[in-house]
Amino acid sequence: MQALEAGPAPAPRRQLIVGSALASVAMVMLTGGMLAVWSLQRRRTVDVGEVWLPEGVTIPEVPVNVTLLAFIGICTFAQWAVYAAKRNDRGHAAFALGVTVLTAVMVINAQAFVYSEMGLGVGDGTYAAMFYAVTGMFMALMAIGIVFSAVVAFRFIGGRSDREIVAAHAIYWYTVAAIFAAIWFVVYITK
Amino acid sequence: MTTLDPTSDTIVRSGDVVDDNSKLEAVLAGVADWSTSTDHKKIGRLFLGGGLLGLLATVVVNVVLGIERADIATVDQDAIAQILDAQRVSLVFATLLPLSLGLCVAIVPLQLGARALAFPRLAAAGFWLWFGGLVFTVIALANDGGGLGGNADMVDLFIASHGLMAIGLAAAAGAVATSVLTTRAPGMTMRRVPFFSMSALVTALGLLLVMPVLLGTLVYLFMDHRNARQGFGGNTGIYEWALWVFTQPTTFLFAIPAIGVLAEGAPLLFRLRTPARGVMFAGLGLIGFAAFTGVAQQAVHNLPWAGSDLFIGDSNDVRTKLDDALPWAMFNLLPLLGLVIVVLMSLFLAKPAKGVRPNLTPAFAFGFLGAGMVLMGMLGTALFAIEDLALQGTVFEEGALIYVVYGAVLGVMGGVAFWAPKLWGRTLPAAHLLPLAGLGLLATVLASLPSYVEGFDTPRDVYSVLVLVGHVLMGLTVLAFVGLLAKTLRAPADEPGDNPYDGHTLEWTTASPAPRANFVDAPTVMSSEPSLDVATTSGSDT
């Protein structure tokens, strides 16, 4: 049979950006589902006259609020990397990515501080198990983000500067920031 | 940037083997080749192979359960708990999901004119995560784990292994969805995407939305069961919180690619171009959309219609009934409507044309029967949700699940047979395939319909015996299908040609079997039926 005529090389279709957007949707569903179950369990506990946050446990609010503010920094740095990559400014892009990693590490450090200050054992009831499940899942997303940022930074340092992966990386951090805002409100503020 | 993998895999040919050592090396090289391959056709076939093995395991589990229910032999009561767990897991996670997703991974890039799947390593990792999770699930169930098990560590393993499977399936689904959205050939707009690829996109997006929710729930269940055992009811809470993924309407979402096989095969029957493609897209999309909206709504609806007139009495009577009926209709009739649209469009395309010999492809034969069975499952699910019929607590729901799963299996088997020339370079003989489709239909009906009848009747041994026979027949169907495939592959090459079924879509323009990078040159698409365009042009030239 006659073959179809060969066409021009396929135009770039922003594969990484689409992939990152789909991953973001999955992350939102993951956290949204967990927070929905959190709210349901909280309501059930309160409805039977019990307290949701165990007696004697205090959530340190300063590191939690600082973490929320830190995400403004992370998003800004990620966007700075996109801006620099568009101008093929490898130095600034690598620096912005490095600062993104550093800020993300600080967020993990703040979460570890929250854990130590709360003094809550993972086996201390439903609240504790769910608290560590939600925040632990969030820490996993942070760790993935740090690896993502590091990979992109090393690609730039190594001379493979392409914009698409930096934009995809920024989408990831925007989503993580939105997810933390939801956790901040449901877990730390509403309590 | 592109994530397409330009490297070629090592190819091991049987003719290369010259002595025992090199035979062993060839086997090892073959294993390494398949286990590390980023070729979507291999990853898809790994999923399909795993799914067929899972289907055989499903049949065995159901046969043991049938023997117990029919009082043919007595099974240890502790083991029954594991078998009941295994039945749900094997039907959905070991059979339906890998078969549907495997066919999508194997075929979608070919249909899109792409050289590779997007994120092929992610898809390969997805397969191994799914497979590893399945192995751990079997280990957990074999050691008194599962939702009804008594070994706490094995219950933990059961929960964690489902998390692994959920991550793996979501990863592979992400690769499929990204492929459809980004790797289409030049000129292939979304309206020109083949029906099967569109069904793959709907399922992949559905999996990306559903699997993370399951994962989050499993994380809670694991943490609670491992540490506190207060908030989620211990091991029995697993099904309270996660049963929705093992039942309808979630399973409808997983069965959509099997319906896509029918949509793909229908226009070939009388070599027609599909008018109003948007209607077919709408049908496929409606099933996915309605099934997804119903996923989190495991509600039982009270529809007290019996013995009461709609328009007699005060106006509140009508209003109350409509208030009850609308949510039920939204969650149960909309997916049904989507499938009816696809089936009616297929029947419309199957209208005989003068002077055209029918081209009965495996895609249409298996796909039509499979979609019919899924339709029966949807009907059953709609009835099951009506509280007044008192079907809750009976085996009726199990019948609906088996209708959906076995119906989807039939559709996927049709897809495998239809695209066998592209995957293996061989055509499966139609003379053997059509009786197999009939046997599969009989098996599905026998394995499901008696459960429907039993739902309205009192439990009787005869129903269990009929269901048992149905599962045995399904086992025979699968074994015969695999045997036929193996026999065809071992026979001398039949050189099916590039387009043995007069297919309309892009995969039929490349060689059989499809080369490593699928297409020598990126084809340009000018219509929804590019292969038919070429055939028409060739015909007019001569």
- Complex ipTM value: 0.91
The percentage of residues in chain A with a pLDDT greater than 70, rounded to a whole number, is: 93
Q: Do B231 and A41 touch (CB under 8 A)?
A: yes
Query: Residue B322: CB partners within 8 Å, gap ≥ 6?
Result: none
Q: For residues A28 and B194, what is the distance between their CA atoms, to the nearest angstrom?
A: 30
Select the residue from A13, A20, A22 to test the B interface by mutation, using most B Cβ atoms within 10 A. Answer: A22
C-alpha distances in angstroms, B66 versus B394, B400, B456, B463?
Answer: 15, 16, 19, 10
Which pLDDT band, with edges at 50, 70 and 90, does B314 fall under?
Answer: low
Give pLDDT tens digits for B393-402: 889 999 999 9
Q: Do A6 and B523 touch (CB under 8 A)?
A: yes
Select the residue from A2, A5, A15 to test the B interface by mutation, using most B Cβ atoms within 10 A. Answer: A15
| Residue listed under structure tokens 């309309």 | B504
Nearest neighbour of A15 by CB, restricted to B178, B227, B499: B178
Task: Tell me how close the Cα of B229 comes to any Cα of chain A, in angstroms.
Answer: 8
Residues 119-178 of A with CB under 8 A from B: 122-126, 128-130, 132-133, 136-137, 162, 164-165
Give pLDDT tens digits for B251-262: 999 999 999 999
Nearest neighbour of B182 by CB, restricted to A2, A18, A162: A18
| A32-58 average pLDDT score | 90
Q: For residues B431 and A187, what is the distance between their CA atoms, to the nearest angstrom?
A: 63
Give me the pLDDT at residue A8, please. Answer: 53
Nearest neighbour of B186 by CB, restricted to A10, A123, A125: A10
Q: Do A41 and B119 touch (CB under 8 A)?
A: no
Give me the pLDDT at residue B6, please. Answer: 43
Asked if residue A169 is part of any domain, the answer here is yes
| B268-273 average pLDDT score | 83
- Whether pLDDT at B54 is above 60: yes
Select the residue from B3, B117, B227, B519 to test the A interface by mutation, using most A Cβ atoms within 10 A. Answer: B227
Q: For residues A4 and A1, what is the distance between their CA atoms, to the nearest angstrom?
A: 9
Residue A59 touches partner B, C-beta closer than 8 Å? no
Residue B499 touches partner A, C-beta closer than 8 Å? yes
Give me the pLDDT at residue B232, please. Answer: 84
Give me the pLDDT at residue B386, please. Answer: 82
Contact, B405 vs B252, CB < 8 A? no
Give me the pLDDT at residue B304, please. Answer: 59
Contact, A175 vs A27, CB < 8 A? yes
Give me the pLDDT at residue B167, please. Answer: 96
Task: Tell me how close the Cα of A31 comes to any Cα of chain B, in angstroms.
Answer: 7
- Both tokens assigned to B239: 């099904």
- Whether pLDDT at A157 is above 70: yes
Which pLDDT band, with edges at 50, 70 and 90, does B3 fall under?
Answer: very low
Q: Which range has highest mean pLDDT (A1-10, B68-77, B361-370, B474-483)? A: B474-483
Give pLDDT tens digits for B159-201: 999 999 999 999 999 999 999 999 999 889 999 999 999 999 9
Task: Tell me how close the Cα of B153 comes to any Cα of chain A, in angstroms.
Answer: 16
Asked if residue A31 is part of any domain, the answer here is no
Instruction: Kindly report the average pLDDT of chain B as a whole number.
Output: 86
What is the extent of the structural domain holding A87?
A: 72-191
Give me the pLDDT at residue A1, please. Answer: 47
Give me the pLDDT at residue B303, please. Answer: 67
B37-303+315-541 CATH choice from 1.20.210.10, 3.30.300.180, 2.60.40.420, 3.40.630.30: 1.20.210.10
Give me the pLDDT at residue B2, please. Answer: 44
Which pLDDT band, with edges at 50, 70 and 90, does B296 fall under?
Answer: low
The percentage of residues in chain B with a pLDDT greater than 70, rounded to a whole number, is: 90
Residues for chain A: how many in total? 191
Residue A48 touches partner B, C-beta closer than 8 Å? no
Q: Which of A66-70, A97-101, B3-7, B126-130 has the lowest mean pLDDT?
A: B3-7
- Both tokens assigned to A168: 């995809």
Q: Which residue of B has its CA nearest to A124?
A: B228
| A39-59 average pLDDT score | 89
Q: Do A126 and B230 touch (CB under 8 A)?
A: yes
Residue A34 touches partner B, C-beta closer than 8 Å? yes
Asked if residue A139 is part of any domain, the answer here is yes
CB-neighbour burial class of residue A49 (10 A; exposed 0-12, middle 13-18, buried 19+): exposed
Give pLDDT tens digits for A93-143: 999 999 999 999 999 999 999 999 998 888 888 899 999 999 999 999 999
Q: Do B178 and A11 touch (CB under 8 A)?
A: no
Task: Tell me how close the Cα of A28 comes to any Cα of chain B, in angstroms.
Answer: 9
Q: For residues B424 and B185, what is the distance between their CA atoms, to the nearest angstrom?
A: 23
Residues of A in contact with B222 (CB under 8 A): 133
Q: Do A130 and B217 touch (CB under 8 A)?
A: no
Nearest neighbour of A34 by CB, restricted to B211, B220, B521: B220
Sequence-distant contacts of B144-149: CB under 8 A, at least 24 apart: B144/B78, B144/B82, B145/B82, B146/B81, B146/B82, B146/B85, B146/B86, B146/B89, B146/B235, B147/B85, B147/B235, B147/B236, B147/B238, B147/B239, B148/B81, B148/B82, B148/B84, B148/B85, B148/B235, B148/B236, B149/B81, B149/B82, B149/B85, B149/B235
Asked if residue A64 is part of any domain, the answer here is no
Give pLDDT tens digits for B197-226: 999 999 999 999 999 999 999 999 999 888
Residues of B in contact with A33 (CB under 8 A): 212-213, 216-217
Q: Which of A9-13, A66-70, A106-110 has the lowest mean pLDDT?
A: A9-13
| B38-56 average pLDDT score | 94
Asked if residue A58 is part of any domain, the answer here is no
Q: For residues A113 and A133, what is the distance between their CA atoms, to the nearest angstrom?
A: 17
Residues of A in contact with B241 (CB under 8 A): 37
Contact, B124 vs B130, CB < 8 A? no
Q: Do B1 and A34 touch (CB under 8 A)?
A: no
Which pLDDT band, with edges at 50, 70 and 90, does B315 fall under?
Answer: low
Residues of A in contact with B1 (CB under 8 A): 15-16, 162, 164-165
Total beta-carbon pairs less than 8 A apart between chain A and chain B: 143
CATH number of A117's domain: 1.20.120.80
Nearest neighbour of A137 by CB, restricted to B219, B226, B497: B219
Residue B275 touches partner A, C-beta closer than 8 Å? no
Give me the pLDDT at residue B491, please. Answer: 83
Contact, B221 vs B232, CB < 8 A? yes
Task: Tell me how close the Cα of B261 comes to any Cα of chain A, in angstroms.
Answer: 24
| A49-75 average pLDDT score | 91
Contact, B198 vs B260, CB < 8 A? yes
| B488-505 average pLDDT score | 84
Q: Do A19 and B178 touch (CB under 8 A)?
A: yes
Give pLDDT tens digits for B113-129: 998 999 999 999 999 99
Select the residue from B119, B182, B210, B537 to test the A interface by mutation, using most A Cβ atoms within 10 A. Answer: B182
| Residue listed under structure tokens 């459809």 | B180
Q: For residues B318 and B476, what is the distance between their CA atoms, to the nearest angstrom?
A: 51
| A37-48 average pLDDT score | 91
Give me the pLDDT at residue B307, please. Answer: 46
Q: For residues B475 and B168, what is the distance between their CA atoms, to the nearest angstrom?
A: 27
Kindly list the domain boundaries of chain B, sorted by start residue: 37-303+315-541
Domain count, chain A: 1
Give me the pLDDT at residue B9, please. Answer: 47
Asked if residue A165 is part of any domain, the answer here is yes
Residue B178 touches partner A, C-beta closer than 8 Å? yes
Asked if residue A46 is part of any domain, the answer here is no
Task: Tell me how close the Cα of B53 comes to any Cα of chain A, in angstroms.
Answer: 29
